[in-house]
Structure 1
Amino acid sequence: MSARDTVLGKIRASMRVSGPDTERRKTVAARLVETLTGVIPARAMLPKAGQLELFCAMASQFGATVTQVADYKKVPAEVGTYLRAHNLPAEIRIGADKRLQKAGWTSVKNLEVRHGASDGGDLTGVSHALAGIAETGTLALISGQDNPTTINFLPEHHIVVLKASDIRGDMESVWTMVRKTQGKGEMPRVVNLVTGPSRSGDIEQTILLGAHGPRALHIIVVD
Protein backbone atom coordinates (compact mmCIF):
# COMPACT_ATOMS: atom_id res chain seq x y z
CA MET A 1 0.00 0.00 0.00
CA SER A 2 1.34 3.42 -0.95
CA ALA A 3 1.54 6.44 1.36
CA ARG A 4 -1.30 8.00 -0.65
CA ASP A 5 -3.54 4.99 -0.05
CA THR A 6 -2.69 5.12 3.66
CA VAL A 7 -3.64 8.80 3.96
CA LEU A 8 -6.88 8.36 2.01
CA GLY A 9 -7.72 5.29 4.04
CA LYS A 10 -7.38 7.26 7.27
CA ILE A 11 -9.61 10.01 5.85
CA ARG A 12 -12.28 7.48 4.89
CA ALA A 13 -12.09 5.89 8.33
CA SER A 14 -12.47 9.26 10.07
CA MET A 15 -15.54 9.99 7.91
CA ARG A 16 -16.94 6.50 8.56
CA VAL A 17 -17.01 5.77 4.84
CA SER A 18 -16.97 2.15 3.74
CA GLY A 19 -17.35 0.44 0.39
CA PRO A 20 -16.77 1.90 -3.10
CA ASP A 21 -16.95 5.62 -3.89
CA THR A 22 -19.36 5.23 -6.80
CA GLU A 23 -22.28 7.10 -5.23
CA ARG A 24 -20.13 9.88 -3.86
CA ARG A 25 -18.46 10.34 -7.24
CA LYS A 26 -21.91 10.67 -8.85
CA THR A 27 -22.88 13.29 -6.27
CA VAL A 28 -19.73 15.32 -6.92
CA ALA A 29 -20.16 15.07 -10.71
CA ALA A 30 -23.77 16.25 -10.45
CA ARG A 31 -22.72 19.17 -8.26
CA LEU A 32 -20.10 20.25 -10.80
CA VAL A 33 -22.60 20.08 -13.66
CA GLU A 34 -25.19 22.15 -11.83
CA THR A 35 -22.67 24.93 -10.92
CA LEU A 36 -24.85 26.25 -8.11
CA THR A 37 -24.69 29.98 -7.39
CA GLY A 38 -24.58 31.69 -4.04
CA VAL A 39 -26.78 34.40 -2.59
CA ILE A 40 -26.94 37.44 -4.90
CA PRO A 41 -27.05 40.81 -3.06
CA ALA A 42 -29.97 43.10 -3.80
CA ARG A 43 -27.66 45.91 -4.97
CA ALA A 44 -26.63 43.73 -7.93
CA MET A 45 -30.18 42.98 -9.09
CA LEU A 46 -30.62 45.95 -11.37
CA PRO A 47 -31.83 46.51 -14.93
CA LYS A 48 -29.11 46.99 -17.57
CA ALA A 49 -29.10 50.78 -17.32
CA GLY A 50 -28.79 50.56 -13.56
CA GLN A 51 -25.90 48.11 -13.83
CA LEU A 52 -23.99 50.48 -16.09
CA GLU A 53 -24.57 53.42 -13.78
CA LEU A 54 -23.56 51.45 -10.69
CA PHE A 55 -20.44 50.06 -12.38
CA CYS A 56 -19.23 53.52 -13.36
CA ALA A 57 -19.92 54.90 -9.88
CA MET A 58 -18.13 52.05 -8.09
CA ALA A 59 -15.14 52.06 -10.45
CA SER A 60 -14.74 55.81 -9.86
CA GLN A 61 -15.05 55.31 -6.11
CA PHE A 62 -12.07 52.96 -6.18
CA GLY A 63 -9.82 55.34 -8.08
CA ALA A 64 -10.44 54.51 -11.75
CA THR A 65 -11.49 57.08 -14.31
CA VAL A 66 -14.38 56.15 -16.59
CA THR A 67 -15.61 57.49 -19.89
CA GLN A 68 -18.19 56.29 -22.40
CA VAL A 69 -17.99 56.28 -26.20
CA ALA A 70 -20.54 55.39 -28.85
CA ASP A 71 -18.56 52.70 -30.71
CA TYR A 72 -15.10 51.18 -31.19
CA LYS A 73 -14.10 53.76 -33.78
CA LYS A 74 -14.17 56.35 -30.98
CA VAL A 75 -11.76 54.38 -28.76
CA PRO A 76 -8.47 55.54 -30.39
CA ALA A 77 -9.41 59.21 -30.02
CA GLU A 78 -10.27 58.65 -26.34
CA VAL A 79 -6.94 56.88 -25.80
CA GLY A 80 -5.15 59.78 -27.49
CA THR A 81 -6.97 62.26 -25.25
CA TYR A 82 -5.90 60.29 -22.17
CA LEU A 83 -2.25 60.19 -23.27
CA ARG A 84 -2.15 63.95 -23.86
CA ALA A 85 -3.93 64.74 -20.60
CA HIS A 86 -1.32 62.75 -18.66
CA ASN A 87 1.65 64.01 -20.68
CA LEU A 88 2.45 60.49 -21.86
CA PRO A 89 4.28 59.54 -25.06
CA ALA A 90 2.11 58.56 -28.00
CA GLU A 91 2.82 54.86 -27.51
CA ILE A 92 0.56 52.00 -26.42
CA ARG A 93 0.79 48.22 -26.12
CA ILE A 94 -2.11 45.97 -27.15
CA GLY A 95 -2.63 42.24 -27.65
CA ALA A 96 -4.27 40.41 -30.54
CA ASP A 97 -7.87 41.18 -29.55
CA LYS A 98 -9.77 41.63 -32.84
CA ARG A 99 -11.94 44.41 -31.46
CA LEU A 100 -8.88 46.45 -30.55
CA GLN A 101 -7.03 45.56 -33.74
CA LYS A 102 -9.91 46.89 -35.86
CA ALA A 103 -10.50 50.07 -33.84
CA GLY A 104 -8.65 52.27 -36.34
CA TRP A 105 -5.54 53.46 -34.49
CA THR A 106 -4.17 55.27 -37.54
CA SER A 107 -6.75 57.98 -36.88
CA VAL A 108 -4.58 59.20 -33.99
CA LYS A 109 -1.65 61.19 -35.36
CA ASN A 110 1.83 59.84 -34.59
CA LEU A 111 0.51 57.10 -32.31
CA GLU A 112 2.81 54.08 -32.10
CA VAL A 113 0.95 50.83 -31.46
CA ARG A 114 3.05 47.95 -30.17
CA HIS A 115 1.66 44.43 -30.28
CA GLY A 116 2.00 41.42 -28.02
CA ALA A 117 2.92 40.88 -24.39
CA SER A 118 4.57 43.71 -22.48
CA ASP A 119 8.23 43.38 -21.55
CA GLY A 120 7.95 45.95 -18.77
CA GLY A 121 9.10 48.87 -20.88
CA ASP A 122 5.65 50.21 -21.78
CA LEU A 123 4.14 53.21 -20.03
CA THR A 124 0.62 52.57 -21.35
CA GLY A 125 -1.17 49.30 -22.07
CA VAL A 126 -4.62 48.82 -23.57
CA SER A 127 -6.68 45.70 -22.84
CA HIS A 128 -10.20 44.56 -23.57
CA ALA A 129 -12.13 43.21 -20.59
CA LEU A 130 -14.35 40.17 -20.77
CA ALA A 131 -16.86 41.75 -18.39
CA GLY A 132 -17.51 44.27 -15.66
CA ILE A 133 -19.06 43.64 -12.23
CA ALA A 134 -21.46 46.42 -11.31
CA GLU A 135 -21.70 45.84 -7.54
CA THR A 136 -17.96 46.45 -7.04
CA GLY A 137 -16.81 48.30 -10.16
CA THR A 138 -14.54 45.35 -10.97
CA LEU A 139 -13.13 44.35 -14.35
CA ALA A 140 -12.80 40.69 -15.33
CA LEU A 141 -9.85 40.11 -17.68
CA ILE A 142 -8.91 36.70 -19.04
CA SER A 143 -5.40 35.71 -20.10
CA GLY A 144 -4.29 34.74 -23.57
CA GLN A 145 -2.77 36.19 -26.73
CA ASP A 146 -5.78 38.45 -27.25
CA ASN A 147 -5.13 40.26 -23.97
CA PRO A 148 -1.82 39.23 -22.36
CA THR A 149 -1.78 39.39 -18.58
CA THR A 150 1.49 41.35 -18.65
CA ILE A 151 -0.40 44.33 -20.08
CA ASN A 152 -2.64 44.31 -17.01
CA PHE A 153 0.21 44.76 -14.55
CA LEU A 154 3.48 46.02 -16.08
CA PRO A 155 2.64 49.41 -17.68
CA GLU A 156 2.25 52.44 -15.41
CA HIS A 157 -1.09 53.29 -17.03
CA HIS A 158 -3.70 50.67 -17.89
CA ILE A 159 -6.55 51.55 -20.26
CA VAL A 160 -9.32 48.95 -20.40
CA VAL A 161 -12.04 48.83 -23.05
CA LEU A 162 -15.34 47.31 -21.92
CA LYS A 163 -18.57 46.75 -23.81
CA ALA A 164 -21.56 48.12 -21.91
CA SER A 165 -23.50 44.97 -22.76
CA ASP A 166 -20.85 42.89 -20.98
CA ILE A 167 -21.50 44.52 -17.61
CA ARG A 168 -23.20 42.18 -15.14
CA GLY A 169 -24.72 42.96 -11.78
CA ASP A 170 -22.79 40.40 -9.75
CA MET A 171 -19.63 38.29 -9.84
CA GLU A 172 -21.53 35.01 -10.11
CA SER A 173 -23.01 36.11 -13.44
CA VAL A 174 -19.52 36.86 -14.73
CA TRP A 175 -18.32 33.33 -13.92
CA THR A 176 -21.32 32.00 -15.86
CA MET A 177 -20.24 34.25 -18.72
CA VAL A 178 -16.66 32.91 -18.55
CA ARG A 179 -17.92 29.32 -18.75
CA LYS A 180 -20.17 30.16 -21.69
CA THR A 181 -17.45 32.06 -23.54
CA GLN A 182 -14.67 29.54 -23.00
CA GLY A 183 -16.64 26.32 -22.82
CA LYS A 184 -16.99 24.00 -19.86
CA GLY A 185 -13.69 22.35 -19.01
CA GLU A 186 -11.72 24.92 -21.04
CA MET A 187 -11.39 27.79 -18.61
CA PRO A 188 -8.66 30.37 -19.27
CA ARG A 189 -5.42 29.86 -17.43
CA VAL A 190 -5.87 33.13 -15.52
CA VAL A 191 -8.85 35.32 -14.71
CA ASN A 192 -7.81 38.65 -13.22
CA LEU A 193 -10.37 40.64 -11.23
CA VAL A 194 -9.21 44.26 -11.18
CA THR A 195 -10.82 46.95 -9.04
CA GLY A 196 -9.18 50.35 -9.44
CA PRO A 197 -5.45 51.03 -9.84
CA SER A 198 -2.86 49.11 -7.83
CA ARG A 199 -2.56 50.36 -4.29
CA SER A 200 -1.08 49.44 -0.94
CA GLY A 201 -1.05 50.95 2.54
CA ASP A 202 1.77 51.04 5.09
CA ILE A 203 1.34 50.60 8.84
CA GLU A 204 0.06 54.17 9.09
CA GLN A 205 -2.44 53.50 6.28
CA THR A 206 -0.74 55.89 3.86
CA ILE A 207 -1.97 54.79 0.43
CA LEU A 208 0.65 54.24 -2.25
CA LEU A 209 -0.53 53.90 -5.84
CA GLY A 210 1.28 51.63 -8.25
CA ALA A 211 2.70 49.34 -5.58
CA HIS A 212 2.00 46.07 -7.42
CA GLY A 213 0.84 47.22 -10.85
CA PRO A 214 -0.46 50.26 -12.76
CA ARG A 215 -0.74 53.50 -10.81
CA ALA A 216 -3.66 54.60 -13.00
CA LEU A 217 -6.65 52.75 -14.47
CA HIS A 218 -8.82 54.31 -17.18
CA ILE A 219 -11.94 52.48 -18.36
CA ILE A 220 -13.55 53.17 -21.74
CA VAL A 221 -17.11 51.83 -21.88
CA VAL A 222 -18.32 51.24 -25.44
CA ASP A 223 -22.07 51.77 -25.66
Structure 2
Amino acid sequence: MSAARDAILARLRQAIGRTGEEQAKAVETVRARLDNPRPNLVPAHTRLDREGRVALFCEKALAVSAEVERLARLTDAPAAVSAFLRRHDLPQKMVMAPEPMLDLAEWEQQPLLRVRRGTAAPDDAVGLTVAVAGIAETGTLMLASSREQPTLLAFLPETVIALLQAEDIDGAYEDSWQRLREGLGRPPRSVNLVTGPSRTGDVGQKIELGAHGPRRLLVLVVEEAFGEAGDAPR
Protein backbone atom coordinates (compact mmCIF):
# COMPACT_ATOMS: atom_id res chain seq x y z
CA MET A 1 0.00 0.00 0.00
CA SER A 2 1.36 3.46 -0.91
CA ALA A 3 2.23 6.08 1.70
CA ALA A 4 -0.40 8.45 0.25
CA ARG A 5 -3.11 5.81 0.53
CA ASP A 6 -2.05 5.04 4.11
CA ALA A 7 -2.30 8.74 4.97
CA ILE A 8 -5.78 9.07 3.44
CA LEU A 9 -7.12 6.01 5.27
CA ALA A 10 -5.59 7.19 8.54
CA ARG A 11 -7.36 10.55 8.20
CA LEU A 12 -10.66 8.80 7.47
CA ARG A 13 -10.29 6.62 10.58
CA GLN A 14 -9.51 9.70 12.65
CA ALA A 15 -12.56 11.54 11.27
CA ILE A 16 -14.87 8.59 12.02
CA GLY A 17 -13.54 8.52 15.55
CA ARG A 18 -14.24 4.88 16.44
CA THR A 19 -12.82 3.38 19.58
CA GLY A 20 -10.72 0.22 19.25
CA GLU A 21 -13.70 -1.89 20.33
CA GLU A 22 -16.03 -0.18 17.82
CA GLN A 23 -13.50 -0.66 15.02
CA ALA A 24 -13.12 -4.38 15.80
CA LYS A 25 -16.91 -4.78 15.81
CA ALA A 26 -17.22 -2.99 12.45
CA VAL A 27 -14.54 -5.22 10.91
CA GLU A 28 -16.29 -8.32 12.21
CA THR A 29 -19.63 -7.13 10.81
CA VAL A 30 -18.12 -6.65 7.35
CA ARG A 31 -16.34 -10.01 7.52
CA ALA A 32 -19.57 -11.79 8.47
CA ARG A 33 -21.44 -10.12 5.62
CA LEU A 34 -18.76 -11.15 3.12
CA ASP A 35 -18.71 -14.72 4.41
CA ASN A 36 -22.51 -15.05 4.32
CA PRO A 37 -23.88 -12.69 1.67
CA ARG A 38 -27.63 -12.28 1.51
CA PRO A 39 -29.16 -12.09 -1.98
CA ASN A 40 -31.11 -8.99 -2.93
CA LEU A 41 -34.35 -9.00 -4.90
CA VAL A 42 -34.42 -11.47 -7.81
CA PRO A 43 -37.02 -10.80 -10.55
CA ALA A 44 -39.39 -13.73 -11.00
CA HIS A 45 -39.14 -13.60 -14.80
CA THR A 46 -35.44 -14.51 -14.62
CA ARG A 47 -36.13 -17.92 -13.04
CA LEU A 48 -35.73 -19.85 -16.28
CA ASP A 49 -34.16 -23.06 -17.52
CA ARG A 50 -30.86 -22.94 -19.43
CA GLU A 51 -32.37 -22.30 -22.86
CA GLY A 52 -34.71 -19.70 -21.43
CA ARG A 53 -31.81 -17.82 -19.84
CA VAL A 54 -29.80 -17.88 -23.06
CA ALA A 55 -32.75 -16.67 -25.12
CA LEU A 56 -33.53 -13.85 -22.67
CA PHE A 57 -29.86 -12.79 -22.54
CA CYS A 58 -29.69 -12.61 -26.35
CA GLU A 59 -32.95 -10.64 -26.52
CA LYS A 60 -31.82 -8.09 -23.93
CA ALA A 61 -28.32 -7.74 -25.41
CA LEU A 62 -29.73 -7.09 -28.88
CA ALA A 63 -32.08 -4.48 -27.41
CA VAL A 64 -29.08 -2.43 -26.20
CA SER A 65 -27.31 -2.48 -29.59
CA ALA A 66 -24.95 -5.38 -29.00
CA GLU A 67 -24.54 -8.00 -31.72
CA VAL A 68 -25.02 -11.60 -30.59
CA GLU A 69 -24.14 -14.83 -32.33
CA ARG A 70 -24.67 -18.32 -30.97
CA LEU A 71 -21.96 -20.86 -31.79
CA ALA A 72 -22.06 -24.61 -31.37
CA ARG A 73 -18.44 -24.89 -30.24
CA LEU A 74 -15.40 -22.78 -29.42
CA THR A 75 -13.68 -23.76 -32.68
CA ASP A 76 -16.43 -21.87 -34.55
CA ALA A 77 -15.18 -18.60 -33.05
CA PRO A 78 -12.36 -17.80 -35.54
CA ALA A 79 -14.69 -17.93 -38.56
CA ALA A 80 -17.34 -15.89 -36.71
CA VAL A 81 -14.80 -13.22 -35.72
CA SER A 82 -13.37 -13.00 -39.23
CA ALA A 83 -16.85 -12.67 -40.77
CA PHE A 84 -17.80 -9.98 -38.23
CA LEU A 85 -14.71 -7.93 -39.08
CA ARG A 86 -15.42 -8.18 -42.81
CA ARG A 87 -19.06 -7.19 -42.22
CA HIS A 88 -17.93 -3.97 -40.56
CA ASP A 89 -15.07 -3.26 -43.00
CA LEU A 90 -12.51 -3.72 -40.24
CA PRO A 91 -8.99 -5.08 -40.76
CA GLN A 92 -8.42 -8.77 -39.97
CA LYS A 93 -6.41 -7.88 -36.89
CA MET A 94 -7.10 -7.98 -33.15
CA VAL A 95 -5.58 -8.20 -29.69
CA MET A 96 -6.77 -11.15 -27.63
CA ALA A 97 -6.69 -12.00 -23.94
CA PRO A 98 -3.71 -14.21 -22.96
CA GLU A 99 -6.18 -16.78 -21.65
CA PRO A 100 -4.83 -20.35 -22.21
CA MET A 101 -8.33 -21.66 -22.92
CA LEU A 102 -8.49 -19.50 -26.04
CA ASP A 103 -5.76 -21.62 -27.65
CA LEU A 104 -8.41 -24.33 -28.05
CA ALA A 105 -10.27 -22.20 -30.59
CA GLU A 106 -7.71 -23.04 -33.32
CA TRP A 107 -7.21 -19.49 -34.61
CA GLU A 108 -4.93 -20.80 -37.34
CA GLN A 109 -8.11 -21.78 -39.20
CA GLN A 110 -8.20 -18.14 -40.32
CA PRO A 111 -4.70 -17.49 -41.71
CA LEU A 112 -5.55 -13.90 -42.69
CA LEU A 113 -6.60 -13.06 -39.13
CA ARG A 114 -3.64 -11.55 -37.29
CA VAL A 115 -3.85 -12.13 -33.54
CA ARG A 116 -1.72 -10.58 -30.80
CA ARG A 117 -1.98 -11.81 -27.23
CA GLY A 118 -1.91 -9.37 -24.34
CA THR A 119 -3.59 -6.20 -23.12
CA ALA A 120 -4.95 -3.49 -25.40
CA ALA A 121 -2.86 -0.58 -26.69
CA PRO A 122 -4.20 2.76 -27.99
CA ASP A 123 -3.79 1.67 -31.62
CA ASP A 124 -5.70 -1.61 -31.21
CA ALA A 125 -9.01 -1.34 -33.05
CA VAL A 126 -10.41 -4.74 -31.98
CA GLY A 127 -10.11 -6.58 -28.66
CA LEU A 128 -11.33 -10.02 -27.63
CA THR A 129 -11.91 -11.15 -24.07
CA VAL A 130 -13.81 -13.78 -22.08
CA ALA A 131 -16.80 -13.06 -19.84
CA VAL A 132 -17.13 -14.71 -16.44
CA ALA A 133 -20.91 -14.65 -16.74
CA GLY A 134 -23.84 -13.31 -18.69
CA ILE A 135 -26.84 -11.81 -16.90
CA ALA A 136 -30.10 -12.49 -18.71
CA GLU A 137 -31.98 -9.93 -16.63
CA THR A 138 -30.46 -7.06 -18.66
CA GLY A 139 -28.25 -8.70 -21.31
CA THR A 140 -25.16 -7.75 -19.31
CA LEU A 141 -21.66 -9.23 -19.37
CA MET A 142 -19.75 -9.75 -16.13
CA LEU A 143 -15.99 -9.34 -16.63
CA ALA A 144 -13.43 -10.07 -13.91
CA SER A 145 -9.93 -8.67 -14.29
CA SER A 146 -6.94 -11.00 -14.10
CA ARG A 147 -3.53 -11.51 -15.68
CA GLU A 148 -5.21 -13.71 -18.30
CA GLN A 149 -8.11 -11.29 -18.92
CA PRO A 150 -6.84 -7.68 -18.86
CA THR A 151 -9.50 -5.07 -18.20
CA LEU A 152 -8.45 -2.74 -21.02
CA LEU A 153 -9.51 -5.28 -23.66
CA ALA A 154 -13.15 -4.45 -22.95
CA PHE A 155 -12.79 -0.66 -22.90
CA LEU A 156 -9.92 0.67 -25.02
CA PRO A 157 -10.56 -0.80 -28.51
CA GLU A 158 -13.40 0.71 -30.54
CA THR A 159 -14.69 -2.81 -31.24
CA VAL A 160 -14.93 -5.45 -28.50
CA ILE A 161 -15.68 -9.15 -28.91
CA ALA A 162 -16.61 -11.19 -25.84
CA LEU A 163 -16.74 -14.98 -25.63
CA LEU A 164 -19.37 -16.34 -23.26
CA GLN A 165 -20.25 -19.92 -22.42
CA ALA A 166 -23.98 -20.60 -22.63
CA GLU A 167 -23.77 -22.47 -19.33
CA ASP A 168 -22.41 -19.30 -17.68
CA ILE A 169 -25.54 -17.28 -18.44
CA ASP A 170 -27.48 -16.64 -15.24
CA GLY A 171 -30.97 -15.31 -14.78
CA ALA A 172 -30.28 -12.44 -12.39
CA TYR A 173 -27.43 -10.31 -11.06
CA GLU A 174 -27.45 -12.09 -7.71
CA ASP A 175 -26.87 -15.44 -9.46
CA SER A 176 -23.79 -14.11 -11.25
CA TRP A 177 -22.34 -12.58 -8.10
CA GLN A 178 -22.72 -15.97 -6.44
CA ARG A 179 -21.02 -17.62 -9.43
CA LEU A 180 -18.13 -15.18 -9.09
CA ARG A 181 -17.73 -15.87 -5.38
CA GLU A 182 -17.76 -19.64 -5.88
CA GLY A 183 -15.50 -19.60 -8.93
CA LEU A 184 -12.75 -17.27 -7.72
CA GLY A 185 -12.91 -17.69 -3.98
CA ARG A 186 -11.74 -14.09 -3.54
CA PRO A 187 -12.62 -10.74 -5.12
CA PRO A 188 -10.68 -9.91 -8.31
CA ARG A 189 -8.97 -6.55 -8.73
CA SER A 190 -12.05 -5.30 -10.53
CA VAL A 191 -15.44 -6.54 -11.72
CA ASN A 192 -16.99 -4.76 -14.69
CA LEU A 193 -20.60 -5.04 -15.83
CA VAL A 194 -20.99 -4.24 -19.53
CA THR A 195 -24.42 -3.76 -21.10
CA GLY A 196 -24.06 -3.07 -24.81
CA PRO A 197 -21.67 -0.60 -26.47
CA SER A 198 -20.75 2.67 -24.80
CA ARG A 199 -23.38 5.37 -25.33
CA THR A 200 -24.50 8.82 -24.29
CA GLY A 201 -27.56 11.00 -24.82
CA ASP A 202 -26.01 14.16 -23.38
CA VAL A 203 -25.79 16.02 -26.70
CA GLY A 204 -29.18 17.07 -27.99
CA GLN A 205 -30.87 14.08 -26.33
CA LYS A 206 -29.61 11.94 -29.22
CA ILE A 207 -28.04 8.55 -28.49
CA GLU A 208 -24.44 8.36 -29.71
CA LEU A 209 -22.50 5.09 -29.56
CA GLY A 210 -18.83 4.92 -28.64
CA ALA A 211 -18.85 8.08 -26.55
CA HIS A 212 -16.83 6.76 -23.61
CA GLY A 213 -15.69 3.35 -24.82
CA PRO A 214 -16.35 0.73 -27.51
CA ARG A 215 -18.62 1.64 -30.42
CA ARG A 216 -19.36 -2.03 -31.20
CA LEU A 217 -19.86 -5.09 -29.05
CA LEU A 218 -20.14 -8.63 -30.36
CA VAL A 219 -21.05 -11.40 -27.91
CA LEU A 220 -20.28 -14.94 -29.07
CA VAL A 221 -22.39 -17.33 -27.01
CA VAL A 222 -20.77 -20.78 -27.18
CA GLU A 223 -23.04 -23.77 -26.53
CA GLU A 224 -20.22 -26.24 -25.90
CA ALA A 225 -18.43 -25.85 -22.57
CA PHE A 226 -14.94 -24.54 -23.27
CA GLY A 227 -13.34 -27.33 -21.26
CA GLU A 228 -14.91 -29.96 -23.53
CA ALA A 229 -12.74 -28.80 -26.42
CA GLY A 230 -9.53 -30.00 -24.77
CA ASP A 231 -7.57 -30.29 -21.58
CA ALA A 232 -6.18 -26.78 -21.28
CA PRO A 233 -7.17 -25.02 -18.04
CA ARG A 234 -9.84 -22.40 -18.17
TM-score bracket relative to the smaller structure? 0.7 to 0.9
The 3-state SS of whatever aligns with 2:105 is coil
Change (3 A) 1:5 1:66: closer
Change (3 A) 1:25 1:206: closer
8 Å contact kept, 1:116–1:145:
no
The equivalent residue for 1:165 is 167
- State TM-score, norm by structure 2: 0.84
**Partners of 1:207 and 1:24 in 2: how far apart?**
44
The equivalent residue for 2:219 is 219
The equivalent residue for 2:5 is none
Deviation at 1:149, TM superposition (A): 1.0
Deviation at 1:44, TM superposition (A): 1.4
**Aligned counterpart in structure 1 of residue 128 of structure 2, from 114, 126, 139:** 126
Runs of at least 5 residues in structure 1 that lack an aligned partner in the other structure? 13-18
Deviation at 1:204, TM superposition (A): 2.3
The equivalent residue for 1:15 is none
- Provide the aligned length of Structure 1 versus Structure 2: 213
**Partners of 1:199 and 1:29 in 2: how far apart?**
37
The equivalent residue for 2:55 is 53
- State TM-score, norm by structure 1: 0.88
| Structure 2 letter corresponding to 1:206 | K
**Partners of 1:29 and 1:109 in 2: how far apart?**
51
**Aligned counterpart in structure 2 of residue 36 of structure 1, from 30, 35, 38:** 38
Deviation at 1:47, TM superposition (A): 1.3
Deviation at 1:3, TM superposition (A): 7.6
The equivalent residue for 1:105 is 107
Runs of at least 5 residues in structure 2 that lack an aligned partner in the other structure? 1-9, 224-234
The equivalent residue for 2:78 is 76
**Aligned counterpart in structure 1 of residue 88 of structure 2, from 86, 89, 112:** 86
**Partners of 2:39 and 2:176 in 1: how far apart?**
11
**Partners of 1:4 and 1:220 in 2: how far apart?**
45
**Partners of 2:12 and 2:156 in 1: how far apart?**
41
The 3-state SS of whatever aligns with 1:68 is strand
**Partners of 1:5 and 1:85 in 2: how far apart?**
55
**Partners of 2:178 and 2:149 in 1: how far apart?**
20
Deviation at 1:208, TM superposition (A): 1.1
CA RMSD, aligned part only? 2.1
Deviation at 1:4, TM superposition (A): 7.0
State percent identity of aligned pairs. Answer: 41
| Structure 1 letter corresponding to 2:156 | L
The equivalent residue for 1:136 is 138
The equivalent residue for 2:197 is 197
**Partners of 1:50 and 1:143 in 2: how far apart?**
28
**Partners of 2:211 and 2:60 in 1: how far apart?**
21
